[in-house]
Amino acid sequence: MASDQQYISTRGGGEPLSFSETLIEGLARDGGLAVPASMPHVATETLERWRALTYPQLATEVLALFAGDIPREDLARMTDAAYAPFPAEVVPLRQIGDGLTLVGLSEGPTLAFKDMAMQFLGQVLEYALERSGSVLNVLGATSGDTGSAAEHALRGKDRIAVFMLSPRGRMSAFQRAQMFSLDDANVHNIAVDGVFDDCQNLVKRLAGDVEFKRAHNLGAVNSINLARITAQVVYYFWAWLRATDAGGATEVSFTVPSGNFGNILSGFYAKRMGLPIRRLVLATNENNVLDEFFRTGVYRPRTAAETLATSSPSMDISKASNLERFIFELVDRDPARVNTAWHELDAQGFFDFTAEQPRFADEFGLVSGTSTHADRIETIRSVHAGTGEIIDPHTADGVKVAREHVEPGVPMLVLETAKPQKFADMIREALGVELEYAPELQAMLDAPQHVTDMADDADALRAYIAAAALRGATVGHSPVGADRHES
């Protein structure tokens, strides 16, 4: 049974919106993020009924709790289509030693966990736009995997154009090829002179420009889009159902490599919905602003110059957008306190929740840790030596931190981030092996690349989007672009 769930802003402005309205809106008009007006609850007996479901069927059940304005049969059709490109099991679980189980989230088209939500988002965005007769110009920022997952989910769609910002020179060669090799007319890749946080700030500046946003039908597919968060909730339920025995309420812990706080926020929502989760273990790399926050209660993002380029580049983020959704729950859903925290962040470069810090672990189950390049190398080597598995550097960050938080009798599940082929240089350094690529992947790596270089300049980005944006009158026609072509 679908819910009548409504969505409100973390900053208290605007009227409640439906699920479909929220996913098209992206960033709330008051600059906040959309959150459920009330968190749905899943009873133990319901969990038990879900054990026999396939992944698309489970996704339909979980998403129906959030997408109350979408008929169940339409939702089921979209989840079937979203996960058709995946293997039959969709999310396999496998043991990797030291009491850890890897949750295989990288079986999708772009070999990264972002496909799990993005494939559904592509389906539901198109559905909502067709129902409303409108178009959407998606503006996003990526540190590596979001961009390719979004572009592969949205390429060729008549009612959607994609403008994806990435930090120039900060992604792996494979990540660049997955994005820049696409030549679909509705896909625009823009390499910004800066780091991911600069790209993310540009997205927020344009999303906060209400006049420009409305004039150009601007939306988002980054994890500020709540459809991404809700679709990711599904695999926490899936993993719990496969890691526990029927008839019990066994607690498990999850370790999540995290940069923008979206993936682990989905686990936080699953726990709030009643899933028996003991610990949510956040793993960071050297850009460990989130680890510092969860250990101390002080959130102090770094500047672009202070943000390091690491060997787990998708986590090279200093300002995590989705943390605002956690802060909203931390302050008992008081928008005034959320606004105060962000005003303090703007004014002094940090905000301080040291008084509430004990609640992070005690009430919410959130703990954290940091991994370094040396840790990644050692972890990739030890997992390979023990099991023959090759894991990517971000997953290695997760495994390293997970080992520090294993508790007797509590299964520890580590969320996989990507296939190791996306980070061949790192695997070569760790194991001294050359990874093989399927013919279609090698062809992608060898293909011409299409990308536009741009300064960190909001006005230049506005002008580019204004020239290339899809408009209602041009549905079914190619938007005009000005991409630079490189071989």
Question: What CATH number does the domain containing 237 carry?
Answer: 3.40.50.1100
**82-93 mean pLDDT:** 96
Distance CA 234, CA 254 (A): 14
**418-424 mean pLDDT:** 93
**87-100 mean pLDDT:** 94
The answer to whether residue 242 is domain-embedded is yes
Which of 13-27, 85-99, 190-204, 326-340 is least confident?
13-27
Per-residue pLDDT reduced to its tens digit, 100-123: 999 999 999 999 999 999 999 999
**CB count in 10 Å sphere of residue 247:** 9
CA angle 230, 236, 241 (to 5 degrees): 130
pLDDT of 162: 95
Kindly tell me if the per-residue pLDDT of 2 is higher than 60: no
**CB count in 10 Å sphere of residue 69:** 18
**334-351 mean pLDDT:** 97
Per-residue pLDDT reduced to its tens digit, 20-35: 999 888 778 898 999 9
The answer to whether residue 176 is domain-embedded is no
Q: How would you write 164-231 as a 3-class SS string? A: EEEECCCCCHHHHHHHHCCCCCCEEEEEECCCHHHHHHHHHHHHCCHHHHHHCCEECCCCCCHHHHHH
- Could you give the percent of the chain with pLDDT greater than 70? 96
The answer to whether residue 444 is domain-embedded is no
* Integer CA distances (angstroms), 92 to 54, 73, 113, 228, 298, in order: 12, 26, 12, 20, 37
**159-186 mean pLDDT:** 93
Kindly tell me if the per-residue pLDDT of 485 is higher than 80: no
The answer to whether residue 142 is domain-embedded is no
pLDDT of 472: 63
Identify whether the C-beta of residue 246 lies closer than 8 Å to the C-beta of residue 220.
Answer: no
How many separate domains does the chain show? 1
Mean pLDDT across the chain = 92
The answer to whether residue 152 is domain-embedded is no
Kindly tell me if the per-residue pLDDT of 343 is higher than 60: yes
Model's pTM, two decimal places?
A: 0.90
- Could you give the percent of the chain with pLDDT greater than 90? 81
**371-394 mean pLDDT:** 97
Tell me whether residue 114 is one of the annotated catalytic residues. yes
The contacts of residue 266 (CB under 8 Å, 6+ apart) are 229, 230, 232, 233, 236
Active-site annotation holder among 114, 204, 400, 419: 114
pLDDT of 3: 61
380: containing domain: 93-107+231-431
Kindly tell me if the per-residue pLDDT of 202 is higher than 60: yes
Q: Tell me the chain's radius of gyration from C-alpha atoms.
A: 21
Kindly tell me if the per-residue pLDDT of 475 is higher than 50: no
The answer to whether residue 411 is domain-embedded is yes
The answer to whether residue 196 is domain-embedded is no
The answer to whether residue 163 is domain-embedded is no
In 440-481, the DSSP E strands lie at: 449-454
Provide the CA 115 distance to its chain's centre, in angstroms.
9
**293-298 mean pLDDT:** 98
pLDDT of 484: 37
**12-24 mean pLDDT:** 90
Identify whether the C-beta of residue 47 lies closer than 8 Å to the C-beta of residue 39.
Answer: no
